[in-house]
Structure 1
Amino acid sequence: MSKADAARAPERHDLVWPSASGWRQLLDQVAVGDRAAIARWQQADWPAVVRRHDPADAGANAAASDKIYLGIALPPDAVDGCKCRIALSINKALVRTLRAPLALNDVIATAPPRWRADLQGLADGASTEEIALRVYGSLALQTLTGQTYLTDRSDIDILFAPNSRKQLEVGITLLSDFARNLPLDGEIRFPDGQAVAWKEWINTVGAASAVAAQRNLRARVLAKSLQRVQLQPPAKLLASLELTP
């Protein structure tokens, strides 16, 4: 892994390309029936995706662990639509490349034609406001692998990482506006690494986040991090934005 990659802490939804030794480590972990899929991923040089720590490893020890927990999601079965996910872990030293999820602009060309104009509008609006939107899930995997992941029921999973309360409110408004025409879903990732579904945030807190959070101190949202899933008061998550340089 490069010096820049090594200095970057992994986050959920990040993309990981193992080294040759890393792929061998992954192959050793999986059942015989999954080895062909892992070998195909290695041959095609497709990435795995960072996932939450296994529950048995969560807690203080997980933070100091030299492991990164990964997942490989196979395309939906052509017959029954079943989605197979392979859970893996890798030593950090065996990671060749660690990258953030794909930028929204990177997936527009591979999106279904009916989505492209609105996705471009969303990307342009985010750029105007200097908001970085990234994509994970089915659309990102289809872009990365060229395989068919999207179905008629697929959502577009957007990852939004605001750096201020004002940017949070502007970004939520932008996502809400484009959700009228696009099947948008996804998460807000706060600076402390915790992420909340942006639709849940709207339903619980609303667009004027700072005001609503102070008025309803008993409100809670489901927050996900690398280590755990827990209910958190919105005010606590907003406080992490205040600490952003």
Structure 2
Amino acid sequence: MAEPARPGCHRRHDLLDPEPGAWAAALAARPDLAGVPRVADWARGGWPVILRRWNPGEARDGIPVGLPLPPADGKRRIGLTLPAEAVRPRPPVTVAQALDAAPPAWHPTLTALDALGRRHDRAPLLFGSLLWQHLTGLAYLSGRSDLDLLWPVAPPIDPRFLDALAALDADAPMRLDGEILLPDGRGVNWRELHAAAPDDDVLAKHRDGLVLCAARDLFTGRCAGEATGEAA
């Protein structure tokens, strides 16, 4: 049996399976969610939630989780906090695993992204609409959807990898969005990093707040980050 999640041991965007009883208890404390489509049955249906950042002013107990509703149900983002013992980790989903859930026009780009990951020994992971369509079978994608990717990378970050990703983005039928995911859980927008001059700072998102990193340090592997003191 998988171990329950512990506060601080999981990263933003991690998938977690909520225990149905704890899910029902959390919803009972949120009368504003009564009658919102699909939410009451989410855990009973075997669908995961995703670890999110804390909201400003939110009590930092338990595990902050979220789920997005599909466009047909209002595209609302639902945020709850669950006890640490009530969620269990689920493996991430790679681009290759979700190919069948994607529009046919996306397949060449997805295949090329998977090949790029193999060349650089980093499998692209999903978050966003394609992930949720793959997990639930519900219609999350539209003709205007982006492809949201996480690239787990240990610095130093090879600029040639970002150049290759930018070249794929230029030819893709959808916008390639997402983050370079550092080993400590910080995420840096790949576009911002690709466009940054060596002396520029780039913003890194963490489950507990925001951190500034010098682009030069990310490319050389020296970035420890400077906390902004802002949690979001």
Specify the alignment match of 2:22 in structure 1.
22
Whether 1:70 and 2:65 are equivalent positions in the alignment is yes
Determine helix, strand or coil for the equivalent of 1:153: coil
For 1:209, the equivalent position in structure 2 comes to none
- Deviation string, structure 1 residues 188-230 (Cα, Å, up to 9, x no partner): 112232211100111114xxxxxx3xxx2xx221221101134
- CA gap of 1:93–1:43, structure 2 versus 1, over 3 A, is closer
Report if aligned partners of 1:122, 1:174 keep a CA contact under 8 Å in 2. no
Letter in 2 for 1:152: G
Higher helix share: 1
RMSD, aligned α-carbons? 2.5
CA distance in 1, matches of 2:164, 2:6: 33
8 Å contact 1:22–1:91 — kept in the other structure? yes
- Pair 1:163-2:184 in alignment: no
Change (3 A) 1:202 1:32: closer
Please give the alpha-carbon distance, in whole angstroms, between the structure 2 residues aligned to 1:135 and 1:87. 19
Task: Report SS of the residue matched to 2:178.
Answer: strand
Rounded to whole Å, the distance in 2 between the matches of 1:90 and 1:135 is 23
2:122 to 128, 131, 137: 131
What does residue 54 of structure 1 align with? 55
Q: Is the 8 A contact 2:214 2:223 kept in 1?
A: no
Partner in structure 1 of residue 162 of structure 2: 172
Paired with 1:230 and 1:240, the residues of 2 have a C-alpha distance of 10
- Write the letter of the residue equivalent to 1:199: R
Give ranges in structure 1 of 5+ residues lacking alignment: 206-211
Matched AA of 2:3: K
Please give the secondary structure, in 2, of the residue aligned with 1:202: helix
Percent of residue pairs bearing the same amino acid type: 31
Once the 2 structures are TM-superposed, how far is the Cα of residue 28 of structure 1 from its aligned partner? 2.0
1:194 touches 1:224 (CA, 8 Å); kept in 2? Answer: yes
TM-score (norm 1): 0.79
Q: Could you tell which deviates more after superposition, 178-187 or 21-30?
A: 21-30
Q: State the one-letter code of the partner of 1:179.
A: D
Which amino acid is 1:232 matched to? Answer: C
Counterpart Cα distance in 1 of 2:84 and 2:92: 18
Query: Does structure 1 conserve the Cα–Cα contact (< 8 Å) formed by 2:153 and 2:181?
Result: yes
- Residue 34 of structure 1: CA displacement? 4.6
| Cα contact 1:15–1:100 (8 A) shared by 2 | yes
User: Take 1:164 and 1:239, find their aligned partners in 2: how far apart are those partners?
Assistant: 8
- Contact kept in structure 1, 2:19 and 2:43, CA below 8 Å: no
- Gaps of at least 5 residues in structure 2 are 225-232
Q: Which amino acid aligns with 1:18?
A: P
| Cα offsets for 1:149-199 (capped at 9, x unmatched) | 111111000101112325x43432331121122221101112232211100
Match of 1:199 in 2: 191
1:240 Cα deviation (Å)? 4.5
* Shift of residue 21, structure 1, vs aligned partner: 2.8
Q: Relative to 1, partners in 2 of residues 1:86 and 1:232: Cα closer, same or farther, differing over 3 Å? A: same
Number of matched pairs: 219
- Partner of residue 179, structure 2: 187
Deviating more after overlay: 229-238 vs 102-111: 229-238
**How far has the Cα of 1:128 moved from its partner?**
2.8
Letter in 1 for 2:153: P
How many Å separate the matches in 2 of 1:226 and 1:68?
10
Picking from 137, 143, 151, the partner of 1:152 is: 143
